[in-house]
Amino acid sequence: MNEINIIKAPSPKKKVTLRILIILGVLSIINFFYWFLKPELIDNKILYWMLMGPLLFDSFRLIYIWYHYWNISVPRKPVLTKNFSVDVFTTYFPGEPYEMVKETLRAIQRMKYPHTTYLCDEANDPQLIEFCKINGIVHVTRNNRINAKAGNINNALKQASGDICLILDPDHVPKENFLDEVVPYFEDEEIGFVQSVQAYYNIEESLVAKGSAEQTFHFYGPVMMTMNSYGTVNAIGANCVFRRAALDSIGGHAPGLSEDMHTAMQLYAKGWKSVYVPKIYTKGLVPSSITSYYKQQLKWSRGTLELLGSVFPKLFRKFTWRQKIHFGILPLHYLSGFTILLSFLIPVIALFTSTTPWKGNIINFGLIFLPILTSTMGIRFYVQQWVMDKSERGAHLLGGLLLACTWWIFIIGAMYTLIRKKVPYLPTPKEDTKITNWKILIPNIVVGLLSIIAVIYGLSADFTPFSIFMSGFALLNAFFMFFTVVLAYEKQKQVTVSLDFKKQKQSIINTIQNVAYAAWHKAALPVILIIFIVSGGFYYQKEHVKWGGVKPEIQEKNVINYIGIFTPQNDDGITSLENVKKVSAQIGENFDIVSLYIAWEKNIEASFPRAIIDSIYQNNAIPMVTWEPWLNSFSQEINDSAHVFSLIENGFFDSYILLFAEKLKKLEKPVFLRFAHEFDNPFYPWFVSGDNAVSQFKKAWTHVYEIFKNGNAHNVIWIWNPWQPENLSTFYPGKEYVDWVGINILNYGKLNRDGEWHDFETLYQPFHEQMKDLPPTPVIISEFGTLKDEGDQNQWIENAFSAMQDNFEEIKSVIYFDSKVDNNWPKGLQADSLLDWTIPGNQVIKTSLKNKEVPAYVFSPLPTLENNITKQANGFNLKEIKGINLKQNHDWKKNYHVLNRRKLSEDFNRIKSIGLNSIKFDGNSIYDYNILNISKEVNLNVSFGFWIPAHIDFMNDKKKTTQLKKKIINEVRKNRKHNHIISWNIQNDVLFNQQHFFHKPEILYQNRAYVIWLKNLVSEIKKIDPERPMTVDLEVSQLSVYHAQLLTQNVEGINYFGLIADNNEYLNSLISFLKKSQMKFLFSEIDTEDLVSCLHPDSIPLTSFFVTSWQDQHESNKLTFDGIIDRKGRTKTEYFTLLHSLQNADSITTKPTVRILKPAVLLYDHLTLEYYSMLYIDGEGWKYGLDFNDLSFEWALIKCDQYGNYLAIKDIDSGPVLRLRIPKNHEYFKLLLTVSDGKSVTETITTLNTPLKFD
């Protein structure tokens, strides 16, 4: 029993499945080139078009192979009715093994069908003459070797007279039934030849033998079976059975190095047809050494290309259209040597020149290429149903590797064809006993060594994802080439003639393999479809997130952080803790905030409710103090006409406010403070009105805030609480003075001014709209409830929380107003009874509490800081640093800028030419190697930065903080050897930027936890590298003095503060503090305009600085426009401003004023509007861009998040006028206009319309 497949024609279902797979494969190739041919992906044009050669060649080769899978067929064997006479020919060439020839002759004689056997002996060998006489074989010889094998056969044909002739190579041993199986096909008078499978019995002799055989498995399986359908069956030198009349019609066997293919071409041109029988009737020898394989391939390449050039054109008109395709394309296989060589050279050249053929995203390349790879392998495995034996299934990697090693042989064959150099016809050696001549390995070894050298040089010169990618290809190529040595010198195994396939061993691996192939035949189509959909989905997602689906890096979940309660027993403003405990016990949940009201009382010692506040803390809650400036106890000291806000501003209450601040500070835990709530409510005496109302309130608020801040009461969380929504934007004191915005939403039902019941959403919506005009600030519903007798309380509360979750993500806290002792009736409705806001349905409260998220640490004491460092030791000097920030390195995975050697060399030389001597960059990136080495080459100093993400939970996420510290320490150890690193820099003022990811009170804890973490980090760095200064970035803000104080008193080893000068309002006070503290500083980020001002003699002394950014950042979800060159590498006006300032030039380039004239209309999605570029010309005023022919105009849409941060950009048009179709959700888009004069560009960004204001 053997493992031969029973070859059957594919069923209709299998044929349809295969054709769908092929169509999908072709579509995947088309899709790949649609993407790969985009001009913006081209990097090095020469390498790009070099790469196109192999890509196009292999793509057409794939399509050509799939074309030969399209119509697999198996011919039906006719019933033999005629009595054909048959001649069987085999040949002998001097040097071939005698025993091999004799074995073949004996097997021929054993064939059952009557026939005459001929030995065509080129040597007229006496031993073979004697053998022929003994065995009844006709011995034929000649006295010349004209036309090689073809001439030898034709010489024998002169003596033969059979109707049918079979030609066998001397190594091919036939089965006894060969002629019985093949001859019946000649019943059809149009059949000129019948070809059967060429199989081998020495496959296991060597790796070369196995690889050579693997190259034929599909050819003699599904490929030739489809040729059978197309009428293009190849005549092979062995096992081909000819009709004698057909051979006579073309003058006998056609000559040439590829005499079999030539014969087939001549027969087809004469109109003869062919049949391919997919069965094995003989087995022979395949080349088993690299030498014999190379000789065979040289002969075939030279002969086949010769046919393409000299025979194909002459016979072209006589072929069918399929035969024209077949004989026109098949020889091109031997041109693959050139494409393989190009594939070797491309990574080598790319690595030596530090460039790449293309600059697309590598992941996108993988997603686009995956369907091709899947189709190629999937179709290949699917059609292996039609290979001759189960052992012939597989990926056939060895055959492909052997093909790659033959590249130079194919090139020689092509060149010999071009120059008409003859190659002698020598049979493929049958005994490979000679040692391989090392000289034939030289081309491959040279390519391998060149690839290794290119990798070593390329990665040392330019270390980027693309150079690593190219190095991978180069190393793979080197492996292929060096593997030739293994093929050349491996020890060959002994083989014996066997006409049957070996039975497959019963093993787990073989069983799994058989089951897998059987399953694949059924699942191929759905699996490949799934892979297509998944890869397409991922690609779409990656492209979608660049624009349509772009999102900020950190997404906040819309959850309520804190749920609180105000539940007094009496009308004294103090929550009854007994009531709180009672409600908590009923619902099984704790409240996070307990609200209480404290009026200003002159005797603060007696009135301050310390015991109650302590009890609140003990119950794992945070107090919210509504601090009401009632002045009853101060009546003797103040004038009745004096307003409390005026008195505050004039300092009258400073000592009282400071005393209260000290009381809160001593709590050493967070406390919410709602000062002067509802200041715009006439009910309260601190209500302020008139023209100066806004100014009066703001001054009083900031005055109180500053007293607390200067008293270091930093545990206080400030709630600013207006009454009417229209006052939000006008009375807002400023982002730096407000931690939370408090809003009271109380539904009075029929007691509302309009006498109507209102749901939460209706009441809050006006505030929500006004909040859009304020900086992002969390909202606390500081009084939340609906009157008990005015409707369904439970439903109102449930709907309220649904609205918060779905529509009002700014709401982060809710305080239940659970009071039944409220006597504050709406104006004009005063009554003797009390308003009852209590909630009978405690289950509703329980439900709301389950949706909150509160970190447990906010109920604990604040982390302890020692504050024991009085002065930082500082013997370091960073004077005369004139630098710039290189921000493209920040997140290399998302960045569209590739920091290869070419770009960095160009950028660094430009930076030097301006007059700068240093760069600062965010380390721990794949580009660190390039930046450090190339900056050293151009003599630029480096401040090596470590970006500390502000969103890290320094309180809880010990794993992440430990990993971050370890990573930074490793970077210091690795890079301290670089002498041009002048400092280590802690980038990103975490203390300041934590406000973007945490709310108070979390920030209070996160700040301190970060300081403790930083203290340990700096200590470790100083142990490793005590010789370099440590700089820590510090945002210039209202809190910068406090933050500087916090750091200097707790983190030993900070040598410089790097000031980020975004807010110059507080710059002078910060610098004064730093000088007073004898703390050194430099400017870590300063824009060109501020820098030019600082360089003025009368300004702040400036010795060292880093300009904000060299180039605009362009990441997949982040954009900035603060560089001195734009995202496309063009110089901005700021570039020349900086250049002239640093080099003390007489004139500074004037920045042209550019604006966009936009429509003052209401915007609707999909509305089309026109936008005009405008330029301001001194002495002439504003002029349309249409008037300037020497300028170019570019328009781009910028997509923003809800806070106005730039996320993505899309170029949309050029020219001085833009017609724009308004995008959906237009409020999240802005318009960028870039104007260029060819030397520099000027940009302006604006919203899509001029808002209409109605009184």
Contact 982, 940 (CB under 8 A): no
Count of all residues that appear for the chain in the document: 1255
Pseudo-torsion of CA 969, 971, 974, 975, nearest 10°? -120
Q: Which two tokens stand for residue 1161?
A: 């209309």
Helix (H, G, I), strand (E, B) or coil at 131: helix
Residues 6+ apart with CB under 8 A from 584: 590, 591
Selecting among 96, 392, 628, 678, the annotated active-site residue is 678
Q: What are the respective helix, strand and coil percentages of the chain, to the nearest 5?
A: 45, 20, 35
What span, in angstroms and rounded, lies between the C-alpha atoms of 1121 and 1119? 7
Helix (H, G, I), strand (E, B) or coil at 210: helix
Selecting among 205, 392, 589, 783, the annotated active-site residue is 783
End-to-end CA distance of the chain: 98
Indicate the residue type of 1077: S
Q: Which two tokens stand for residue 656?
A: 């009282």
What span, in angstroms and rounded, lies between the C-alpha atoms of 1155 and 1171? 10
What span, in angstroms and rounded, lies between the C-alpha atoms of 622 and 637? 34
User: Environment class of residue 806 by beta-carbon count within 10 Å: exposed (0-12), middle (13-18) or buried (19+)?
Assistant: exposed
Backbone angles phi, psi at 389, to 5 degrees: -150, 150
User: Environment class of residue 31 by beta-carbon count within 10 Å: exposed (0-12), middle (13-18) or buried (19+)?
Assistant: middle
Contact 341, 481 (CB under 8 A): no
User: Environment class of residue 158 by beta-carbon count within 10 Å: exposed (0-12), middle (13-18) or buried (19+)?
Assistant: exposed
What span, in angstroms and rounded, lies between the C-alpha atoms of 626 and 599? 8
Q: Is the backbone peptide bond immediately before 766 cis, with ω within 30 degrees of 0?
A: no
Active site residue 783: yes
Contact 1110, 1123 (CB under 8 A): yes
What span, in angstroms and rounded, lies between the C-alpha atoms of 445 and 734? 72
Active site residue 553: no
Neighbours of 606 (CB within 10 A): 7
Backbone angles phi, psi at 419, to 5 degrees: -95, 5
Q: Which two tokens stand for residue 68?
A: 């030969």
Pseudo-torsion of CA 549, 550, 553, 556, nearest 10°? -50
Q: List, in sequence order, every residue forming a beta bridge with 627; answer none if it has no partner.
A: 598, 675
Q: Which two tokens stand for residue 496?
A: 């014996």
Angle at 735 between CA 733 and CA 738, to 5 degrees: 70
Parallel/antiparallel/unpaired status of strands 1206-1214 and 116-121: unpaired
What span, in angstroms and rounded, lies between the C-alpha atoms of 1040 and 1031? 15
Write out the H or E segment, with its range, that includes residue 89: strand 86-92
Neighbours of 1211 (CB within 10 A): 12
Contact 674, 721 (CB under 8 A): yes
H, E, C per residue of 1137-1183: HHHHHHCCCCCCCCCCEEEEECCCCCCCCCCEEEEEEEEEECCCEEE
Name the residues annotated as catalytic: 678, 783
